[in-house]
Amino acid sequence: MDNSPQDIVLNGIKFNSSLPVNQKLEELSKLIKNHQVIIVSGETGSGKTTQLPKLCLALGRGRKGLIGHTQPRRIAAISVAKRISEELGPQRASEVAYQVRFQDKSTSNTKIKLMTDGILLAETQSDKHLKKYDTIIIDEAHERSLNIDFLLGLLKSILPKRPNLKVIITSATIDAVKFSEHFKALNGVPAPVIEVSGRLFPVEIRYQPLGADEENNSQLDSLTDGVVKAVHDFTFEGSGDVLVFLPGEREIRECSDALLDAVARREVERLEVLPLFSRLSQNDQEKIFKPSSSLRRVILATNVAETSLTVPGIRYVVDSGLARVKRYSWRNKVEQLHIEKISKASANQRAGRCGRVASGVCIRLYDEEDFARRSEYTDPEILRSSLASVILQMKSLRIGDVAAFPFLESPTSRAIADGYQILHELGAISGQYSDKTHLTRIGQSLAQLPLDPKIARIILAGHQNNCLKEILIIASALSVADPRERPFDQKNKSDQLHAKFKDEKSEFISYLKLWQWYWELYSKKVSNRKFNDELKKNMISVLRMREWIDIHNQLTSIVNEKKWSILESEATYEQIHKSLLTGLLGNVGSKSETEPNFYQGTRNIKFLIHPLSGMQKKAGRWVMAAELVNTSKIYARVVAQIDPRWIESIATHLIQKNWSDPRWDVKRGQVVANERATLYGLQIYQGRKVHYGPINPEHSREIFIREALVSGDLNVDLPFVDHNLKLIEQIEHMEHKSRRRDILVDDALIFAFYSSLIPNDICQTASLEAWYKRLSEEVRKKLLLNKDGLMKHSAEGITTDYFPRKVHNSGLELVASYHFEPGSPKDGVTVTVPDYALSQINPCTVQWLVPGMLKEKVQALVRSLPQKIRRHLVPIPDYAREFYLAHEADLKEPKKDLIDAIIDHAYSSHNVKIAREDFKTENLPVHMSMIFKVVDSYGRMLSAGRNLAQLKAEHADQSLHSFQKLAQQNLSKISLNTEDKITDWSFGELPEIMEIRKSNQSLVGYPALVDSNTYCSIDVFDTPEMALDVHRKGLMRLFYLGLNEQIKYWKKNIPGIEKLGLMYMNLGTQTELIEQLIEGAIKQSAMLEPLPQNKEEFEVRKNQAKEKLGLIINEIVQLSLQILDLYKQFDKKLQGLKSSIKKSVSNNDQRYIDEAYSDLKNNLEFLIPPKFITKHSFKNLQNFPRYIKSSIARIDKLLRDIGRDEKNLNEIRKFQSKINKKLTELRGQPDPKLDEFIWMVQELRVALFSQELKTPYPVSSKRLEKSWSQFNL
């Protein structure tokens, strides 16, 4: 060795003696010669990176193979190669070259090859034992990247097979013991470790934890407070720039704002504040390395400045002690970026950044105890990353079990399983979670592509889908940083400039638009300078575009080597995105139905579209993303709309399917089920109807036999099926009629019959037909059931006399059907009623059901009687038979109410008195009421039910319309025309009823005059009640027209109208009052029963009205004066009721008085509505003074005996409830019996509340109960 003061020369190669590592050249030389592996722990500035490869060259390495030298980053590999080349001098410079991804500068003359660790790893694909190298230097090993750890494991397994291979592991901060133990020699001796000091100036460490600032008696609550104070302190320390380590971009923005605010408040000196993070644009990064002002610079940086970049001029460091660390979640399959405390080694690296040019100061924003508790080193990447690419390469190299691979630190079993799962997702391996699986053809292809497995899978799919041109552009874009720059202070401007690249459906398409724009711009370029200026003007990074293009060129070279066609024709959206989907299946999601803006992803995760995405508000129902990143929330980056059906075709090996609700589908002739498909728990579809036969043949056959053959739900024409179903139907019909389920054998026996004959593979119509066609006649006969085999016993008494096919009612023949299913709404006998005949149905007749069911119903009715009555009619079956025989002759169409018939028969034959209310009909079984199925003229069911009155009310309008349409053709037979406009009696005698025929049906119509305002017409109605109500109004109109002159006179000359009008004022106008008086007088003079039936009677009645009209008007006026005067007295009493008793009654009494008040008020409103004169008949109006006096008397008595009033009101309420229920059922249809009952309740009020006023006839609660029953309401 030459020991000159400046250089040391070894075998013609110079070494700078000022570098610490060169002071140990002799020791290093011996170790390299005598050991296969050495560990060099060299501090920052020791020169190890550039000097060690030169030393190896000087020792004769590089002759039998290359000296390989790895760096974690491309920029480092390139810069180190250039530096070594310069130091070797021009004569030997060509012996040094570099190779980074897609750039290989090595030649046949190369002896030292700088490369990224990924390049060396990729070379193992073609050079399993790295035979092209005789020396390998792994630099920056402390970073413990995935590639470094894999290389270390590979080297350990290679070394025994390559005894001449030398390996040097080097780093600034390294766990030397762990590395030494890992590379034990065959004799068990650990690899030697040599430590080399650095070339650093002293660094003072100060601890300034966030919290109390004792010196200034203040609080440093936030990270920004701590940074501002530290920068303020450096103001008094001297010149030099400040490097602040922060965990992320948000913290950088906050600290930047805080520092600038402090400058504005003059709390600190003027500063130049610069951000530094990986996504920063190239121009902004260049500002860091080229100081442009005399101001002190404060660099706010992430951990990118820890080892990757050396920032010049730094004398001060502020260390937050935090970093955003990427960790892979095996459970959710997403990258998580969480803020964590850095290790001691990282903290020391940060502190070392301020000792390069002079002595420095590092302020740590945490205390010394916190530092002491921190881990020595950062977790290696292999413990926090996906192992998919490692496993893929190991499988390709056939290295063996990943769990047994000699990693420096073995990954967990969970991480290994996750790696296998990703490869399985990509279709790269034959199964999951097992080292026994092998690479598929897809896997073999992926292993040959030096890319992330997901990106490689996308490129392979692009080849298969004929869209390589677009996919290569997108895949290369996903492999580099986004060329679109978004400067810290120009976000809005950059967004506007980049808007032209946006696509409404896909951010992947945005890459294609940017690529096309770039090359169109390139084709028009005048010079490189102007071209680059245009890129910068549009905020597109020149360097990143070059990197993108370089990667695209290399990818293109790879696919060209494989002779994959790159078509020039433009691919469709579907082709492109289906290709992308092959590598991104775990990154799909569907819009959440419960949480706005969120998407439900696979593995039960929920994510948001990233805020910087242009599709945040436009993303569709289904999306896929290039990546999912977990910060404070999970965000999807680079998203596109997709069709979920694409997932089905691409992820067939991953989709889990389950089936529910297997059932027979007669239209398809198959057993079907609802299919649900999920991808890692994410529902892709549900409720899809699929053929269940191939899925579960045994269960499908069972359902097919039970539902199709046994139940007869089959739409094919097979003789044995038709024969068997008809036979079963005959026997079932007997059961429905007899209401017994003991004739037909159980379905299980029929099932067993078919199951014994039909082959096991038949579970659908098509296979059944094909099988049947091949059968001989003899075998076909075996498929025929016989009656004896289907019946448990003979069915006596089930004849059409007892269970007729049609029942008679009011001249109608209604089709009857029978159904025996207790608890079902169909249980019992059902008659089909055309809508035009609904109102004609006699409710008494249907109570008798059919002869075969009458005895059972009579027994049930008798059993509902009280025991004291019932005991006189035992045995009840004998009495029912006796009643049946007594009425047998009338059973074809009984007219009498069934309960009335039982009452009469019990008295006449057994001298037993029964009242209607003794029967508890509500306790009868439901099948003892007939079902009425209402159908329209096309036979379509409108509704069905057992309550005939309710059905009549519900369908009154439609029933009447259909009836009148049918009646039109019958009117001509009685010389009537509904088109005539009648103003006088000019139509002869109006018949009371008329027959209307429809086929064999006979209906009864009721003609009536119809009021058409200025004239009358004639129409036919389906009930006498409605016809009479309409006819009265029509007749009134005819009298109005005939008395026109008299009406005009009396409208102007009613005596006492002024006084009456004043009293009526609260109810309406005087004009309205006059109209009522005229109408009331005409009713009283011309509309008395019997109504005129012909022209002569009409004229007589009209002339009588002319004479009496004035007299009757006067009577009504006098009665109205009396009623309104009493009304006024009553209202005054009612209004004073509450105010006079508030202080004199208890709360309970007050509650009841409120109820009494409401009852009195409601009843008065019923009696005296605005049109009370015409609403009520004159006969009823004459009772109104007594009714109102009774109410006044009730008020006077109320406070004296509240309990009695409450008792009486409860009696009234009982009947009012019945009235209200019936009114609801009638839905406005007239019912004279109900009207009569309503006035009976008014008389009961008089009897209960003011007996002194008397009633026109005896009345009591008991009498009203009896009347309600007799009216059959």
pLDDT tens readout for residues 993-1018: 888 888 778 889 999 999 999 999 99
d(CA 1002, CA 1018): 21
User: What single-letter DSSP state applies at residue 973?
Assistant: G
1128-1133 average pLDDT score: 92
- Band of pLDDT at residue 324, cut at 50, 70 and 90: confident
Residues 316 and 330 in one domain: yes
Chain segment 1155-1176, per-residue pLDDT in tens: 999 999 999 999 999 999 999 9
Contacts of 20 (CB under 8 A, 6+ apart): 42, 43, 45, 46, 47, 196, 197, 198, 199
pLDDT over 70, % of the chain: 91
**pLDDT at position 919, please?**
92
**pLDDT at position 795, please?**
43
518-538 average pLDDT score: 89
d(CA 1143, CA 487): 81
Chain segment 1201-1220, per-residue pLDDT in tens: 899 999 999 999 999 998 99
**pLDDT at position 782, please?**
84
Q: Provide DSSP, 286-305.
A: HHHHS--SSSEEEEEE-GGG
CA angle 850, 853, 858 (to 5 degrees): 110
Chain segment 107-128, per-residue pLDDT in tens: 999 999 999 998 998 898 889 8
Chain segment 1081-1101, per-residue pLDDT in tens: 999 999 988 999 999 999 999
Chain segment 375-418, per-residue pLDDT in tens: 988 888 888 878 888 888 888 878 777 888 888 888 888 888 88
CA angle 827, 830, 834 (to 5 degrees): 150
Task: Find the helix or strand (DSSP H, E) in which 1001 lies.
Answer: strand 1001-1011
Calculate the alpha carbon distances from 344 to 587, 606, 953, 1196 in Å.
Answer: 36, 35, 89, 99
- Does 810 reside within a domain? yes
End residue of a domain, out of 990, 1017, 1042: 1042
End residue of a domain, out of 765, 790, 815: 790
947-962 average pLDDT score: 91
Chain segment 205-226, per-residue pLDDT in tens: 999 998 744 444 344 457 899 9
Contacts of 493 (CB under 8 A, 6+ apart): 539
Q: What is the CA radius of gyration of the chain?
A: 52
**pLDDT at position 216, please?**
45
- Does 926 reside within a domain? yes
Contacts of 440 (CB under 8 A, 6+ apart): 427, 428, 429, 430
d(CA 109, CA 57): 13
Calculate the alpha carbon distances from 180 to 37, 165, 194, 539, 1006 in Å.
Answer: 9, 17, 11, 49, 115
Residues 407 and 290 in one domain: no
Q: Exposure string (b/e) for 611-639, b if CB count within 10 Å is 16 or more?
A: eebbbeeebbebbbbbbbbbeeebbbbbb
d(CA 153, CA 143): 15
**pLDDT at position 329, please?**
67
Residues 369 and 390 in one domain: no
d(CA 868, CA 866): 6
Residues 842 and 904 in one domain: yes
Residues 1139 and 1163 in one domain: yes
Which residue from 1112, 1231, 1227 is spatially nearest to 1178, judged by alpha carbons?
1112
pTM tops 0.75, yes or no: no
* Window from 331-345, 614-628, 1012-1026, 1229-1243 with minimum mean pLDDT: 331-345
- Does 1062 reside within a domain? no
Residues 240 and 326 in one domain: yes
**pLDDT at position 978, please?**
59
d(CA 955, CA 957): 6
Please provide the size of the chain in residues. 1273
Model confidence at 868: pLDDT above 70: yes
Residues 142 and 26 in one domain: yes
End residue of a domain, out of 379, 403, 423: 379
The answer to whether residues 348 and 377 touch, using CB atoms and an 8 Å cutoff, is no
- DSSP E strands in 201-310: the ranges are 203-207, 211-213, 218-220, 241-245, 271-276, 296-301
Residues 736 and 858 in one domain: no
Residues 212 and 255 in one domain: yes
Which one-letter amino acid corresponds to residue 345? Answer: A
Q: Provide DSSP, 1046-1074.
A: HHHHHHH--TTHHHHHHHHTTT--HHHHH
Chain segment 589-619, per-residue pLDDT in tens: 999 988 988 999 999 999 999 988 878 777 8
Chain segment 1093-1124, per-residue pLDDT in tens: 999 999 999 999 999 999 999 999 999 999 99
145-153 average pLDDT score: 89
d(CA 660, CA 541): 55
Which residue from 454, 477, 509, 383 is spatially nearest to 628, judged by alpha carbons?
454
Residues 1175 and 1126 in one domain: yes
494-506 average pLDDT score: 90
Q: How many domains does the chain have?
A: 8
Residues 24 and 92 in one domain: yes
Chain segment 418-436, per-residue pLDDT in tens: 889 899 999 999 876 665 7
pLDDT over 90, % of the chain: 53
- Does 1056 reside within a domain? no
Q: Which two tokens stand for residue 446?
A: 């992926």
Task: Find the helix or strand (DSSP H, E) in which 25 lies.
Answer: helix 25-34
Q: CA torsion angle for 1156, 1160, 1161, 1166 (degrees, to 10)? A: 140
What is the Cα 1106 distance to its own chain's centre?
76
d(CA 730, CA 49): 100
The answer to whether residues 728 and 735 touch, using CB atoms and an 8 Å cutoff, is no
265-294 average pLDDT score: 76
- Does 638 reside within a domain? no
Helices marked H in 918-1056 — which ranges? Answer: 948-954, 956-971, 1024-1042, 1044-1052
Contacts of 142 (CB under 8 A, 6+ apart): 171, 172, 173, 174, 175, 345, 377
Which structural domain range is residue 766 located in? 697-790
Residues 1018 and 1166 in one domain: no
* Average pLDDT, rounded, for the chain: 87
**pLDDT at position 972, please?**
62
- Does 614 reside within a domain? no
d(CA 372, CA 388): 36
- Does 825 reside within a domain? yes
- Band of pLDDT at residue 45, cut at 50, 70 and 90: low
Domain CATH number, residue 373: 3.40.50.300
Q: CA torsion angle for 858, 861, 867, 868 (degrees, to 10)? A: -80
Model confidence at 793: pLDDT above 70: no
Asked whether the bond before 1090 is cis by omega within 30 degrees of 0, the reply is yes
23 by Cβ neighbours in 10 Å (0-12 / 13-18 / 19+) ranks as: middle
d(CA 497, CA 538): 6
- Band of pLDDT at residue 907, cut at 50, 70 and 90: very high
- Band of pLDDT at residue 345, cut at 50, 70 and 90: confident
Q: Which two tokens stand for residue 303?
A: 């951990």
- Does 222 reside within a domain? yes
Chain segment 231-254, per-residue pLDDT in tens: 999 888 888 899 999 988 778 888
What does residue 318 show for φ and ψ, rounded to 5 degrees? -115, 120
- Band of pLDDT at residue 737, cut at 50, 70 and 90: low
Which residue from 1047, 1172, 1016, 1062 is spatially nearest to 1112, judged by alpha carbons?
1047
Residue 104 in 3-state DSSP?
strand
